Amino acid sequence: MAVDRIRQIPGYVEQFRKIFGGRQPVTIDNIAKAIATYERTLITDNSPYDRFMRVALCKIWMRLCG
C-alpha cells in the first residue's frame, strides 16, 4: 500500500510532518492533498495532448456551427 511505502522513507515522513503535523502525518488523505498540490503547479498548456485537444475541439465546433 502507498501509505506503508511512504512511511518507510524518512525524508518523506519528515516533510509530511512539517507540512501536515500530527503524530501520524502520512495518511492517504494527506498523500492525496500533496499530490493535488503538486498537480496544481503543473502548466501543460502546450503539450502534445493539449495541441491535439485544441484541434479536436476546433473540428467539433466547426461541425456543430456549420
User: What is the model's pTM?
Assistant: 0.66
pLDDT, tens only, 14-59: 999 999 999 999 999 999 999 999 999 988 888 899 999 999 999 9
Alpha-carbon distance of 53 to 46, in angstroms, equals: 10
Task: Residue 2: name the closest of 39, 37, 35, 27 by CA.
Answer: 27
Amino acid at 11: G
